[in-house]
Chain A
Amino acid sequence: MTEIFGVPLQALMGQLVLGLVNGSFYAVLSLGLAVIFGMLNIINFTHGALYMMGAMFTWMLLEYTGVGYWWSLLLAPVGVGLIGILIERVLLRHVYKLDHLYGLLLTFGLALMIEGLFRHLYGAAGQPYAVPSQLTGALDLGFMFLPKYRAWVIVASLAVCLFTWYMIEKTRLGAYLRAATENAKLTQALGINVPLMVLLTYGFSVGLAGLAGVLAAPTTQVGPLMGSNLLIVVFAVVVIGGMGSILGSVVTGLGLGLVEGLTKVFYAEAASTVVFIAMAIVLMFRPAGLFGREK
């Protein structure tokens, strides 16, 4: 059997793929955070809770109504997006004019509420969710077995990121969004409904978080606590990559996923901390972040 530094190739590739899967979630979540920050000037602490909600909705749909994975892939993100729209309308719009810190504190409180509520209703332990039958099994690539579901998560996440990039950079709606990010007042003066844009941006971005939650459901235990720990890692990813560019978010997210996967193979004890260590190193040598453009 082929070995690299004493590690079987199969195990190494397996961890790298798993790293890419985690990296895909980092990419989708940090992308959403960046888009929300650009438009709303808020660091959305609720992002992790809404990701969790996407996964919980998926599980609930199957448990209570028998609706399967593929419909959940559509319904759960839409549900999360609608809840996001409600949050924006009722709560967030009151803090836009205040210091950034208040947006962070408000969404933090909201995250506690959502997480606490699901914990109250379903307990802290997670529930298993089966991989859809079309995606069970693995592909034999010759040098490794690639589980189909993991491949699907990576491909789907990248497609979502690409779609978001296309929407923002290449469409008229995206041009409005970029204009409003740059100068909201002037954009409004040109007859573009900026509050509506803000609403849609938030709804869409948290919908992405919900989608990531659906994708994650079969890869982990679906439970109330799955969002918050992930979100703190995503914060580190955002600090490393900066929130300036979509491409930056994707590259940083995937890259750190790979780093994490490699760490699991060679020094498993540090796997949960390596992203934070990477952040500390980046802060020492490139304080503005790899793709930094501070706002």
Chain B
Amino acid sequence: MMRTKLSWPSVAGVALLLVAPAVVYPVLVMKVLCFALFACAFNLLLGFTGLLSFGHAAFLGTAAYLTGHALKVWEVPTLVGLILGTVGAAALGWVIGSLAIRRQGIYFAMVTLALAQLVFFVLMQAPFTHGDDGLQGVPRGTLFGIDLTNDYALYYLVVALFVGAFWLIRRTIDSPFGQILKAIRENEPRVVSLGYDVARYKLIAFVLSAALAGLAGATKTLVFNFATLGDAHWHMSGEVVLMTLLGGMGTVFGPVVGAALIVTLQNELAVVAGSLVTVIMGAIFVVCVLAFRRGIVGEGIALYRRMIGEKVG
């Protein structure tokens, strides 16, 4: 059994996160962390199982609303709200996953996209989401007696959640279970012929990915105090694909890098480019697919291997 080692990028990353609020606006870092978690969860499917889900916004959005509604209307403690969002997304992931894994490849992508659109329309019509206005004024509450309305207090909670989830994903990838997922990505018929129940493995990976995407959505509601339909829109599903592709699919740190870049870029561009942001996102997509398929981290790893003279496979 492989052990998940404490690698120096992880240590450096955690150290950086701990001191970051001293120099950067904590809400921006929290936003990056939410999307990084979302992208890492997505990458577990695309990068390590070879399944392109084009509907991950459904899990982000559903969890965002569930947590928001639980905190605001049912007035549950913050921790319970987070758990409810995550479990809700996992349950939805089980339903969508069981349907989607019945088809392969390109159809899988279309099925997840269509089912996510179904979820979007349901959320749009359901009274508790408040339609286009969104669910506003969600209280952050307290955790173990600490008041989370303080941005710095919430920051360290979000860092803890992110690091925990990131560790879980790494642990999954390195586990025997993760080895089988990678084998499914490389050659599904062979894994079937070896006697593994491929459908079950895919479904577990899908539910885990949905749950973690849900945790990202739940955390996001906590950070911004609101949930909107945009969280569940297919644009959001596209964005997480782009983050993963840009950072490097199938690499551990790629989605984090991709999410940080895209979130920062959107923040900067919203002021100068306005409605052209979508065009720029689309252009990044096209460039990534045509010339940059390994992504930033993937290219970095390839370059490093060339430098130490290892053959790149």
The residues of A with any CB-CB pair to B shorter than 8 Å are 37, 43, 91, 94-95, 98, 100-102, 104-106, 108-117, 119-120, 228-229, 232-233, 235-236, 238-239, 269, 272-273, 275-277, 279-280, 283-284, 287, 294
Complex contact A117–B279 (CB within 8 A): yes
Given contacts A100-B105, A102-B289, contact A120 B275 (CB under 8 A): yes
**C-alpha spacing A111/B113, complex, angstroms:** 15
Contact A276 B286 (CB under 8 A): no
Which of A43, A109, A111, A276 is in CB contact (< 8 Å) with B117?
A276
Please pick, from B113, B276, B289, the residue contacting A105 in the complex, using a CB distance under 8 A: B289
Nearest A residue to B124 by beta-carbon distance?
A272
A276–B118 contact, CB under 8 A? yes
A232-B117 contact in complex given A91-B290, A239-B107, A239-B110, C-beta closer than 8 Å = yes
A-B contact pairs, 17 of them (CB 8 A): A91-B286, A91-B290, A100-B105, A104-B52, A105-B241, A106-B285, A108-B238, A108-B285, A109-B242, A111-B282, A112-B285, A113-B282, A228-B234, A236-B114, A238-B110, A239-B111, A276-B114
Cα of A43 to Cα of B241 in the assembled complex, Å: 16
| In the complex, chain A residues whose CB is within 8 Å of the CB of B118 | 273, 276-277, 280
Q: Which residues of A contact B109 (CB under 8 A)?
A: 43, 101, 104
CB-based contact A106/B286 at 8 Å = yes
A235 CA to B118 CA, complexed, in Å? 13
If A104-B106, A119-B275 touch, does A109 touch B111 (CB 8 Å cutoff)? no
User: B: which residues have CB within 8 A of A?
Assistant: 52, 54, 99-100, 102-107, 109-111, 113-115, 117-118, 121-122, 125, 234, 238, 241-242, 245, 274-279, 281-286, 288-290, 293
Task: State in angstroms the CA–CA spacing of A192 and B103 once bound together.
Answer: 34
Contacting pair A294 B278 (CB below 8 A): no
Inter-chain contact B238/A112, CB cutoff 8 Å: yes
A110 touches B117 (CB 8 A): no
Pairwise interchain contact A283-B99, C-beta atoms closer than 8 A: yes
Identify B121's interface contact among A105, A235, A273, A294, CB under 8 A.
Answer: A273
Tell me which residues across on chain B come within 8 A of A294, comparing CB atoms: 103-104, 107
A235 & B114 in contact (Cβ 8 Å cutoff): yes
Let me know if B279 and A235 touch, CB within 8 A.
no
In the complex, A272 Cα to B118 Cα: how many Å?
A: 8
Q: Contacting B115 at CB < 8 Å: which of A37, A113, A229, A276?
A: A276
B293–chain A nearest beta-carbon distance, Å: 7
Contacts of B286 in A (CB 8 A): 91, 106, 109-110, 113
**If the complex has contacts A104-B106, A104-B109, A287-B102, are A112 and B282 also in contact, measured as CB distance less than 8 A?**
yes
